[in-house]
Structure 1
Amino acid sequence: MIRSLRLRLMLAAMTLAALFMLALLPAMQGAFSLALQESIEQRLASDVTTLISAARVENGRLKMPAQLPDERFNLADARLLGYIYDRDGNLVWRSKATQEEHINYTPRYDGQGNQFARIREDNGQEFFVYDVEVKLLGGQSAAFSIVTLQPVRDYELTLQGLRDNLYLGFGAALVVLLALLWIGLTWGLRALRRLSQELDEIEAGTRESLSTAHPRELLRLTGSLNRLLHSEREQRSRYRDSLDDLAHSLKTPLAVLQGVSEDMARRPQDRGQAWVLQTQIERMSQQIGYQLQRASLRKSGLVRHQVRLRPVLQSLCDTLDKVYRDKRVQVHFDLPEHCQVPIEQGALLEMLGNLLENAYRLCLGEVRISVHQTLGGTELSVEDDGPGVPPDQRARILQRGERLDRQHPGQGIGLAVVKDIIESYGARLTLGDSELGGAAFRILFPVV
């Protein structure tokens, strides 16, 4: 399937131009053939007129001068064929060039005046014939058929030369036409390229809307896209504001409940119920935070970002080195200096923060972060030398609320947030074994 609009238009234009020229070529050949035959007829008629003007009748017999006014009739190799027949079809005179020709032609003296025809001899030769019936010569009564002929092969050679020139000319014209069409299409599609550039700027976050400096035919499209962009921004803003309002409105009741649970915990008989209440309050707080993260870090529908990976990783690792300074974790980077990933910076921080925190917490002392280009896109890997994850538990820990590590506090929603972020960007998260001995979290960003 051809995905280039310019190439499609060029192929369509080339096809139409070729079909037009192929249809025009036979018509031009036919017109030239008719014009050439008319020219031959006029020339043969002129030759007949020359013979008529030179002929005389004496005592009922035809007399022709030894030297005719037209020198071509006097030369044997002039290829000017002339015959004169009497009323009974008997040959009474022939030009010198006809001495080598054996033409079996019988004139039709039927009172029709003149006749232009094409005859074919038994040996395969063809001739154009112009036959004129003459009843008066030099003012005297006469009955003769004066005939001039021209070989058809001369006509065919001329027509073949024209055909070759037409093919060459039409081919050159087609090439020039296609070049002009390519230039015209390139100029005409500049508006689409400009629109594409503006969309790229919107995806990169350097432009908020499309301009109005486009052809009339595209203004409705650009207007619809601008309304879509504005509507999306407003919807996302309202969504985030609503969630923020909800979270804020829940803080006070949760704080009251937290205070009640602390009061209950001071009474020995209510400590069990207080622990249950505090656990549920903590879970509710975690869930509120999780939903806020999902709402704020989900990919925009039109805007596409490219974030440099190394500065974000360096910042996160510097922070985690301070948190886990007793472990002295060694972090190895295996990625290009200016490597970029197609994700918003806030989402990237949240995603890598969760993955690196898990790697620092569970590793024995070594973490590796690598980026590789594959056929499917860009693959980002976070590996550690910790205990790893059993194969039968890998799908479960990516679910919200599921944890394998029971020694550290938490609700098990970190990896669920990571998975949601990754899937919102069309990427894929897989969990496998690392060469370091622990777990390997691999994120594949597909080619855009």
Structure 2
Amino acid sequence: MPLRSLRLRLLASAAAAIFLALGVAGFGLDLLFERHIERREALSMEAKARELLGALRLDAAGRPVVDPLPSDNRFDEPAGGLYWQVSAAGGQAHSPSLWDQSLAAVPGAPRGHWRIRRSPGPFAQGLLVIERMVEPDRSGRAVLVQVATDDSALIDAQREFGREMVGSLVLLWLVLIGAAYGQVVLGLQPLARIRAELDRMRRNPGARLSADHPAEIDPLANAINSLADARAADVDRARRRAADLAHSLKTPLAALAAQSRRAREAGATEAADGLDRAIAAAGAALEAELARSRSAVAREAQASSRANVLDAAEAVAAVIERTEAGERIVFEIDVPEDMDLPLAPSDLAEILGALMENAARFARRRVAVSGTVTDEEIRITVADDGPGIADARAATALVRGGRLDEAGPGHGFGLAIVSDLVSATDGTLTLGTGRLGGLEVCLAWPAPGAS
């Protein structure tokens, strides 16, 4: 299953690439170290070989003779790990350390320099051998000179170096992965900024992505902005067409209502009732469509508008108090003076007007409007001391297009229209039984800066 996280993909690819690079580097370092210690050991053996060459001569029979013998005591100890051997056409001479063994000769030894090679040797030892052809006198007879040493110490040194190198490379790998993580986080920061700006666009359809992104992000930001512009234009056209259609249908509905009255006056009560039901259904659909249009406008105006809750509540209460239902009601408004909402004043007035008018219609004596502001939310509550509403009716009222006055003798207003306006501005609406005993409608919006 492919990784869905871009961060994990980048880290996994970086870890694999670093691991491969360090593996190749480790292999190369191991080879370099092996060649280095071989050369150092070969230089040490060349010094002993020069001493051997100074004592080499051929006797009358063409047999090689070394006199005096090299001074290193390891040449005298059988299987001591350091050996020499000279081979000519007339015979062979070797160090006492070889005892009854001999070094293997490989054709093609050079004359002008020492050749270095590894070879299996006597006494089950692996050997590092240097060899060359020399002419000890003017007779032109060639002699193969070989000096060898046990390579076990070299192998042990190489293994120890390998272990330490692997540990160092693993530590370096972890450090580089940490650096790669920092690089990935830094490189992905523009995408986090894009996400934040997209969230702002979600809350405010009029917002757009900023133009100061890195060059690699600019095409994406421009494409998103173009898509948002096109979508906003499409939504605006669709909203205007819907609103125009809704308004254009009001006149035919009014004409049908007049026909219904005439039919009722003529005694065709059953036909008039049917017309009234059809007109009511069409009117509800039109009101719902107009509410959607108002919700879209409210959402677009949210980012640039502020409405004072106390002013709106007092203005609505002053209007309702002049009505027949409002004359007998006492409005209790407990809202902080500086309590504002990111709404257009007309939208807040429409929301509170519908809630407070309905509360006044069904209240016995009191309607309470309260407001609170916390670090998390801004809350408005409208409660009355009326009969309230059953939970089942509340659920029906919250259905899009539902109206409480159509759900029985409850609170009579298009609650779904108010709910659309509230939800369009990132708010929530809940129904319940309040402290006054009747219906309590709670509206809540996230406080500015709340996550």
**Normalised by the size of structure 1, how large is the TM-score?**
0.65
Determine what percentage of the aligned residue pairs are the same residue.
21
- Alpha-carbon shift at residue 51 of structure 1 (Å): 1.7
Call closer, same or farther: CA 1:390–1:5 in 2, change over 3 Å: same
Whole-angstrom CA distance in 2 between matches of 1:345 and 1:5: 44
Call closer, same or farther: CA 1:391–1:195 in 2, change over 3 Å: closer
Match of 2:390, as an amino acid? P
Whole-angstrom CA distance in 2 between matches of 1:128 and 1:300: 91
Whole-angstrom CA distance in 1 between matches of 2:189 and 2:155: 52
- Alpha-carbon shift at residue 183 of structure 1 (Å): 4.3
Whole-angstrom CA distance in 2 between matches of 1:406 and 1:209: 47
Q: Mind listing any 5+ residue stretches in structure 2 that lack a counterpart?
A: 110-114, 321-325
Partner of 2:231: 232
Whole-angstrom CA distance in 1 between matches of 2:362 and 2:285: 24
Match of 2:48, as an amino acid? D
Call closer, same or farther: CA 1:298–1:281 in 2, change over 3 Å: same
Partner of 1:397: 397
Whole-angstrom CA distance in 2 between matches of 1:40 and 1:180: 41
Partner of 2:310: 314
8 Å CA contact retained: 1:298, 1:347? no
8 Å CA contact retained: 1:347, 1:421? yes
8 Å CA contact retained: 1:308, 1:339? no
Partner of 1:14: 15
- Alpha-carbon shift at residue 292 of structure 1 (Å): 1.0
Partner of 1:81: 82
- Alpha-carbon shift at residue 297 of structure 1 (Å): 0.6
- Alpha-carbon shift at residue 442 of structure 1 (Å): 5.7
For residue 128 of structure 1, give the secondary structure of its aligned residue in structure 2. strand
Call closer, same or farther: CA 1:438–1:32 in 2, change over 3 Å: farther
Partner of 1:328: 330
Partner of 1:288: 286
Partner of 1:55: 56
- Alpha-carbon shift at residue 445 of structure 1 (Å): 7.8
- Alpha-carbon shift at residue 332 of structure 1 (Å): 5.5
Q: Over the residues paired in the alignment, what is the CA RMSD in angstroms?
A: 5.7
8 Å CA contact retained: 1:360, 1:367? no
8 Å CA contact retained: 2:132, 2:146? yes
8 Å CA contact retained: 1:355, 1:382? no
Residue correspondence of structure 1 range 11-410 to structure 2 within 5 A: 11-34=12-35, 36-37=37-38, 40-41=41-42, 43-45=44-46, 47-56=48-57, 62-65=65-68, 81-84=82-85, 93=95, 106-108=102-104, 116-119=117-120, 127-130=126-129, 132=131, 137-138=136-137, 146-158=146-158, 160-161=160-161, 164-165=164-165, 167-168=167-168, 171-172=171-172, 175=175, 179=179, 182-183=182-183, 186=186, 189=188, 192=191, 195-196=194-195, 199=198, 202-203=201-202, 205=204, 209-210=208-209, 218=217, 220-250=219-249, 288-298=286-296, 312-322=308-318, 323=320, 324=326, 326-331=328-333, 350-351=350-351, 353-359=353-359, 361-363=361-363, 365=366, 366=368, 382=381, 384=383, 386-399=386-399, 400-403=402-405, 406=409
Call closer, same or farther: CA 1:225–1:74 in 2, change over 3 Å: closer
8 Å CA contact retained: 1:429, 1:441? yes
Bigger mean CA offset, 290-299 vs 418-427: 418-427
Whole-angstrom CA distance in 2 between matches of 1:167 and 1:205: 55
Q: Mind listing any 5+ residue stretches in structure 1 that lack a counterpart?
A: none
Deviations 1:241-277 (A, max 9, x none): 3344345545556667788899x79x9888989x978
Call closer, same or farther: CA 1:315–1:15 in 2, change over 3 Å: farther
Match of 1:64, as an amino acid? D
